[in-house]
Each structure stands twice: as structure tokens, then as C-alpha cells.
């Protein structure tokens, strides 16, 4: 670490708490097109909790890697007018879980998810306060050396519950010739990075560590380049740019900022993409080789290759199957429920969307639309994030949703809460059950009804299911990936739209 001349920066901050008072004048209204109840297949969900820890990951991983190696092009180069497609997978299918049962797996995931949300709020809070990461002082090192804490592309996606995270993976070729590596898909980050040899400190990953000397397209980025100057935290060594990216859960990556070629299966490749070559990496990225940054900032992959749109469909979090990540014309939404894609002038990474309300059992809840709106300073609003698992809502909004859901499930046996979930049920004696439909409402009278499995989820293999929403004291709300699974989510960057296409994986 010392050879890079700079240390991990610690983010010290105070969260802002914002309370909203809902006016009594806002009345509930019945929605004719929304079914009052939705069927939850309890038996199928419980079976998946058993399967996720027992299937042969080595066979799945070997088969998929062989398929990828057979389709990786040797010299095809694609510019921003081309189409890219990648498969997406759950982390479970790539890296053997250390958890012995589903409950410990679920608790680990929820703990990781809470760290993720703290990270999101940290970065946004710093931006709103006008504090740059480069302004923060480095944490001192102790005596024992421990730091106190284009147009079209397509690829595969995987769910990551086994390591306690909500991330999904895609396999991307790095370098020339391309070295296929599993990368975390993250719409909440901008910088794409990969672990590189030699490692001062690298965590365990499924693939061999990337060797820069084996790539003919590897090229250091100069310190005075636009890419280097755009980094939140950077340094210079012998005229070459060094980068650092830290996350609110304590994870970080440090190394050389370089230009490389990225290859997307048989879709083609893109030259001169700025990526981090991390020699010192710590955190909860176990299994992946790095991260594919899909945020809205200037250094994100979509921004660098200037794609007009991208989309993904996230498979069931307990599934070993794959779906796709697509860029360009293939990613444009078809028959989708669309809502405005909004940006925060203080922080351009996150994707905000227009949400006007929530519905339960066919009735719009008494929540004013302002509860989901961003103010002039950049506070509030609601983002959609591929890396957060559980949807977070302002406390009063959550309470309204929960109370309405509980009212519609009085016939179901309740049980004690689990971790951040306070509304849970014992469904061990049921095969299927009717539960109130939960609906997202968007501007223009548009709505999206969620499948029951996207909001009533198992937390063990004994039949305990919990409502997969959680309150937050932050003014920022987040739509997580549990609510997104099985739905193709598209980002039309030209027309500023987010699209939801159910059952389009």
C-alpha cells in the first residue's frame, strides 16, 4: 500500500434526518386496474432456500465459463454505434457460500445491505454539504500497520446473497487478448475497477488475478488527463495517475488508473476505457474480480462509451439461472411502464426516478407525492439501485405501507421480526397464500404491480416470510433489487426515462 503514496480516506459525517407530516386531507382512492391480492407460492420459495445452498456451483461455473470462452471474439472492436450483451448471474452460483443454513445467509445479506445504504447516504450527504473526498484527512496508520477504519452491449447477471450482498455479477473480458472476469454490476458507482497483480492486498476472487503485463492494450493514464482529474481521490506517481475508491461499508480499492479494452462476450469490445487496476483491495466483493460502474457520472462505463441506453433483468436472488445486461438499441424499453429519469445536480452518480405514490390491495395510500420528491438542495427523492437489496422508504411512508399491508393480512399467522424486518409471518403450514398487492405509481397515471415474491420473502427454510421493505431516517428513498427481480429495468439516457418491463428476462 505504501508504494502508492496515499492511504485510504475515512468518511466521518453526521446523517441528516428529515421528518415529513402527511396531511389528513389526502384521501385513499380505489384503483380499478390493480388486483387487490396476489398469489405467493410459499412452497416454491422455501424450496429455493434449500436449493441455493446445495446446488453444484463448480459445475454451473465451469459450464458457463466454457460457453463464454467459446464466444469471446479475438479481435472484434465495436464503437458506440454497436450493440453489447452480457449475461447476469447471482453470486451464489459462482462462489460457494460459507453459510450452513438460509437464515444465517439472510442475516448476512441484510447486514451487508445496511452497510450499502449507509454508503449511499454518506456519498450523497458529503456532496450536498460541498465536501469532496479529497478534502478529507487520511486516517493515521497504527504501529502494527493496520489502518483504523456504444451504442449496444449485452452480458449475463447473477444474484449475490450467499456472501451477504445484493450484487449481481456479469462476466467481462479485460485486456487484449481478453481475460474473462466476473464483475459486480453496480448502478450506484461510477469507477470500473479490477484486482491486478502484483497484489499488496487482494481479497479472494473466483477467477485468477488479472495480470497487466499479459495485455497489449494496457496503458497508464497521465496525471493531467481529464479522467484523472475527474476522480474524487487521486494521486500521481512518475507521471501516472493513481486512483482510490472507498465505500461506506469500509470496502475500498487503490491502484493505477489505466486505459484498457473491455470485451462483452461475442458482442464485441470497446477500446480505451478508463478503469482502475487495483493492487490493494479490501471489502465484501468476495467472488468477483472487480466492479462494473454503471452510475450516471462521467467515469461510468455508459458515460465513457456514450451509449444511448442500457438495461438489465435481475434473476431471482436465490436462483442459479442467468439473465442479461444490455447496452444500446437492444436495451431500449418495449411495452414498458416508464417514468422520468431525474438527476441530482449535487451528485450525478445516482439514478432518481419519478414516483407519485404507493398502493396496497388496490388502494392508493394517503401519502403526498412530495414525500418522493427532491428539493432544490438535493435532499430527498427516490433512487433505483442494483446493489441495494431491500427498498428503503421514509419512516412515515413505510409505516403507511406496512399498516395497510398488515390490515390485509389479518388472517395470516404473524411472528417476531427478523433483523431490519418488523413484519413477518409463519407460513410453514401453507403451500400458497393470497396477499395484498403492492403497487408503485408513476406520473401520468402509470403503475407497476409487484409479484408477491418481490415483497414477501423467506428469511429461513422453516417458513418465516417477511415484508421486504424497511424504514429509513434519511430523506432519501431507495428502490432495491428484491423489488426489481424478474423485471427488465431500462435506462433511456437520451430521453431521460426509466422503464419497467415485467417478465422480460
Cite the active site residues. 186, 385
3-state secondary structure of 7: coil
Q: How many CB atoms lie within 10 A of CB 255?
A: 24
Rounded Cα gap, residues 48 and 458, in angstroms:
9
Distances (CA, A) of 210 to 251, 288, 338: 20, 12, 39
Rounded Cα gap, residues 308 and 80, in angstroms:
9
Grid cell for residue 118: 449507509
Rounded Cα gap, residues 62 and 113, in angstroms:
29
Grid cell for residue 498: 426509466
β-strand pairing of 252-263 with 240-246? antiparallel
Rounded Cα gap, residues 170 and 325, in angstroms:
8
434-455 per-residue burial string, b: 16 or more CB within 10 A, e: under 16: bbbbbbbbbeeeebbbbbbbbb
Grid cell for residue 199: 497484489
Q: Which residue has the cell 431507495?
A: 478
Rounded Cα gap, residues 422 and 402, in angstroms:
9
Rounded Cα gap, residues 84 and 94, in angstroms:
23
Q: Which residue has the cell 472484434?
A: 76
Amino acid at each position: 500500500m505504501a508504494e502508492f503514496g496515499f492511504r485510504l480516506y475515512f468518511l466521518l459525517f453526521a446523517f441528516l434526518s428529515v421528518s415529513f407530516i402527511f396531511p389528513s386531507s389526502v384521501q385513499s382512492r380505489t384503483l380499478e386496474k390493480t388486483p387487490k391480492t396476489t398469489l405467493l407460492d410459499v412452497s416454491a420459495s422455501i424450496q429455493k432456500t434449500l436449493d441455493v445452498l446445495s446446488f453444484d456451483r463448480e459445475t454451473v461455473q465451469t459450464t458457463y465459463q466454457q460457453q463464454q470462452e467459446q464466444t469471446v471474439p479475438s479481435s472484434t472492436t465495436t464503437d458506440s454505434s454497436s450493440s453489447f450483451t452480457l449475461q447476469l448471474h447471482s453470486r451464489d452460483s459462482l462462489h460457494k457460500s460459507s453459510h450452513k443454513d438460509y437464515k444465517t445467509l439472510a442475516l448476512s445479506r441484510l447486514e451487508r445491505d445496511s452497510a450499502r445504504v449507509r454508503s449511499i447516504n454518506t456519498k450523497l450527504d458529503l456532496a450536498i454539504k460541498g465536501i469532496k473526498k479529497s478534502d478529507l484527512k487520511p486516517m493515521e496508520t497504527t504501529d502494527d500497520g493496520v489502518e483504523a477504519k456504444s451504442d449496444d452491449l449485452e452480458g449475463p447477471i447473477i444474484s449475490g446473497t450467499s456472501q451477504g450482498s445484493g450484487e449481481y455479477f456479469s462476466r467481462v473480458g479485460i485486456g487484449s487478448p481478453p481475460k474473462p472476469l466476473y464483475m459486480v454490476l453496480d448502478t450506484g458507482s461510477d469507477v470500473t475497477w479490477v484486482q491486478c497483480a502484483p497484489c499488496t492486498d487482494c481479497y479472494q476472487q473466483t477467477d485468477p488475478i488479472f495480470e497487466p503485463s499479459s495485455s497489449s492494450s494496457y496503458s497508464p493514464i497521465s496525471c493531467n488527463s481529464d479522467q484523472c482529474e475527474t476522480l474524487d481521490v487521486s494521486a500521481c506517481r512518475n507521471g501516472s495517475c493513481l486512483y482510490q475508491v472507498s465505500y461506506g461499508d469500509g470496502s475500498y480499492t487503490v491502484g493505477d488508473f489505466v486505459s484498457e479494452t473491455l470485451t462483452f462476450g461475442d458482442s464485441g469490445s470497446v477500446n480505451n476505457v478508463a478503469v482502475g487496476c487495483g493492487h490493494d483491495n479490501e471489502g465484501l466483493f468476495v467472488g468477483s474480480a472487480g466492479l462494473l460502474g454503471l452510475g450516471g457520472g462521467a467515469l461510468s462505463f455508459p458515460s465513457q462509451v456514450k451509449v444511448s441506453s442500457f438495461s438489465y433483468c435481475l434473476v431471482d436472488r436465490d436462483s442459479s439461472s442467468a439473465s442479461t445486461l444490455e447496452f444500446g438499441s437492444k436495451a431500449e424499453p418495449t411495452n414498458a411502464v416508464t417514468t422520468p429519469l431525474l438527476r441530482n445536480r449535487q451528485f450525478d452518480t445516482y439514478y432518481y426516478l419519478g414516483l407519485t405514490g404507493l398502493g396496497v390491495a388496490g388502494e392508493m395510500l394517503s401519502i403526498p407525492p412530495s414525500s418522493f420528491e427532491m428539493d432544490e438542495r438535493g435532499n430527498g427523492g427516490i433512487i433505483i439501485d442494483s446493489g441495494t437489496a431491500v427498498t428503503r422508504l421514509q419512516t412515515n411512508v413505510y409505516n403507511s405501507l406496512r399498516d395497510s399491508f398488515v390490515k390485509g393480512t389479518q388472517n395470516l399467522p404473524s411472528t417476531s421480526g427478523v433483523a431490519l424486518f418488523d413484519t413477518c409471518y409463519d407460513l410453514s403450514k401453507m403451500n400458497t397464500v393470497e396477499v395484498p398487492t403492492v403497487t408503485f405509481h408513476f406520473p401520468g397515471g402509470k403503475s407497476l404491480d409487484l409479484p408477491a415474491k418481490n415483497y414477501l420473502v423467506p428469511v429461513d427454510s422453516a417458513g418465516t416470510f417477511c415484508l421486504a421493505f424497511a424504514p429509513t431516517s434519511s430523506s432519501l428513498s431507495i428502490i432495491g433489487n428484491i423489488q426489481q427481480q424478474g423485471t427488465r429495468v431500462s435506462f433511456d439516457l437520451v430521453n431521460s426515462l426509466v422503464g419497467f418491463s415485467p417478465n422480460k428476462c
